[in-house]
Amino acid sequence: MKMPKRSHFTMGNIVHNAVQKILCKKETLKDVIFNKDKSLFKSLKAEKPIDEKDKAKRYYMAKNFKLTLKQFQTALESLPKQNWNFETEYATWIDGIGTYFKMFIDLEGEDYIVDLKNIFGSVIKTKKGYSYSKRAVPSVPFHSDCMQMAAYNFATGGKKPVLIYANHFEHKVFSENNCDDLKPENLKYYLDELVMYQQIWEQKLKLANGNPYTLARLIKPDFSDIRKKQDFFWNDIPEEYINRFLNYYKNDKR
């Protein structure tokens, strides 16, 4: 069964791909939008909106596409000039973990690694239809993003990590120059946390020993999020998948 996708996932990929192709492959804005064969918007047009709210958000994200792209480009211009590659692939083993991390880095230069983070707004129902609210970029990087950059830093042999958050009206660049979290001595702590999380999951899998019902007892779900679909993740999951998931908790077959 093909899982439905919210438009912001597809639109996020479109923005990333546009930044990458214009920067690394020297394609033009005309190429990535209007070219019949190259247009990145083909993927968006091929997908049907999940609901009216998703359709409205798709409209506003597409409307703000050029402005969002410009924010990312302006942010990248603030970095030292270098040759960039995009979606560079790494498979990295880290001591203490029984498997490898597979990763694709948005942008990799001679000295820097960059991850691009879209900050889309929210769609609100009004009497006249829908409105689009602005969402500011974060003043500090998200914790999970710091762990991600610690892994990238390790995989690339110590290249300097940069996080860029952007929406259609502002952007924020985080690097070791303005963010203590991304300094080498602190990246080690984030990498240690990432290893710890992975070790916890490995221990749960060992205890479950292949039994999904036992594994379910080791993972505490938030049933309110599932029932009310407050978490964006559950919004896109078909009911039959949710029911199958819940059955692992209702039917104890340890």
Segment 137-174, tens digit of pLDDT: 999 999 999 999 999 999 999 999 999 999 999 999 99
d(CA 108, CA 118): 18
Q: Which domains does the chain have, with CATH numbers?
A: 7-208 (3.90.320), 210-254 (no CATH)
Q: What is the pLDDT of residue 220?
A: 86
Q: What is the pLDDT of residue 22?
A: 96
Q: Are 154 and 92 in contact (CB under 8 A)?
A: yes
Token reading at 46: 């091929």
Q: What is the pLDDT of residue 254?
A: 62
Average pLDDT over residues 12-41: 91
- pLDDT tops 60 at residue 1: no
Band (pLDDT 50/70/90 cuts) for residue 228 is low
Contacts of 67 (CB under 8 A, 6+ apart): 168, 169
Average pLDDT over residues 120-129: 90
Angle at which helix 184-208 crosses helix 143-155, to 10 degrees, equals 100
Strand order across the 112-118 sheet:
85-93, 100-108, 112-118, 160-166, 171-174
Q: Which one is predicted more confidently, 5 or 154?
A: 154
Closest CA to 244 of 231, 232, 228, 226: 226
User: With pLDDT > 70 as the criterion, what percentage of the chain qualifies?
Assistant: 94
